Amino acid sequence: MKSNKDIRVVVGMSGGVDSSVAALLLKEQGYDVVGIFMKNWDDTDEFGVCTATEDFDDVVRVCNQLDIPYYAVNFEKQYWDKVFTYFLDEYKAGRTPNPDVMCNKEIKFKAFLDHAVSLGADYLATGHYAQVRNNDGHYEMLRGVDDNKDQTYFLNQLTEDVLAKVMFPLGHLPKSEVREIAKEHGLVTATKKDSTGICFIGERNFKEFLGEYLPAQPGEMSTLDGIAKGKHDGLMYYTLGQRQGLGIGGAGDPWFVVGKNLKDNILYVEQGYSNESLYSDGLVATDVNWINPDIIQDTFTCTAKFRYRQKDSAVTVTLLENGKVNVVFADRERAITPGQAVVFYDGEVCLGGGTIDEIIKNDQALDYVG
Partner 1 sequence: MEQIYLDHAATTPMDRQVIDAMLPVYNEVFGNPSSVHSFGRKARQLLDEARRTMAKSIHANEKEITFTSGGTEADNLALIGTALANQHKGKHIITTTQEHHATLHTVEHLEKQGFDVTYLPVYENGKIAVNDLKEALTDETIIVSIMYVNNETGIIQPIEEIGQLLKEHQAYFHSDAVQAYGLLDIDVKDMGIDMLTVSSHKINGPKGIGFLYAAEDITINAQQFGGEQERKRRPGTENVVGAVGFQKAVELAMENKEERRNLYLNYKNLFLTELEENDISFEINGDHESALASIVNISFPGANVESLLTNFDLSGVAASSGSACTAGSVEPSHVLTAMFGENNECTTNSIRFSFGLFNTTENVEAAARRVAKIVKRLTS
310 counts as binding partner 1 under rule CB under 8 A: no
Binding window for partner 1 (CB under 8 A); candidates: 56-64, 85-93, 147-155, 273-281: 56-64
To the nearest whole angstrom, how small is the minimum distance from the Cβ of residue 24 to partner 1?
20
Q: Which of 34, 83, 278, 343 binds partner 1 (CB under 8 A)?
A: 34
Binding window for partner 1 (CB under 8 A); candidates: 48-56, 187-195, 218-226, 339-347: 48-56
Binding window for partner 1 (CB under 8 A); candidates: 46-54, 201-209, 311-319, 320-328: 46-54
Would you give the binding string for partner 1 spanning residues 60-99, x where CB under 8 A is met?
A: x--------xxxxxx-------------------------
Query: With contact defined as beta carbons under 8 Å apart, do 175 and 149 qualify?
Result: yes
15 is in an annotated binding site: yes
β-partners of residue 302 are: 315
The C-alpha atoms of residue 343 and residue 130 are separated, in whole angstroms, by 14
Residue 90 backbone phi and psi in degrees, to 5 = -65, -45
**Planar angle of CA 284, 290, 296, nearest 5 degrees:** 90
Angstrom distances, CA of residue 333 to CA of 133, 151, 230, 238, 305: 31, 22, 28, 19, 11
| From 50, 63, 199, 350, the catalytic residue | 199
Q: Give the type of residue at 66.
A: L
The C-alpha atoms of residue 97 and residue 313 are separated, in whole angstroms, by 21
What lies within 8 Å, CB to CB, of 156 at 6+ separation is 101, 289, 341, 343, 344, 350, 352, 353, 354
19 is in an annotated binding site: yes
Total binding residues for partner 1 by CB under 8 A? 21
| From 50, 103, 302, 350, the catalytic residue | 103
Please give the residues from 116 up to 175 whose contact with partner 1 meets the rule CB under 8 A.
Answer: 118-120
Q: How far apart are the first and last CA of the chain?
A: 55
Nearer CB in complex with partner 1: 75/154: 75
127 is in an annotated binding site: yes
The C-alpha atoms of residue 179 and residue 368 are separated, in whole angstroms, by 45
Active site (annotated) includes residue 103: yes
Active site residues: 103, 199
Binding positions for ATP are 12-19, 38, 127
Q: Which residues bind partner 1 (CB under 8 A)?
A: 34, 36-37, 39, 50, 52-53, 55-56, 59-60, 69-74, 115, 118-120
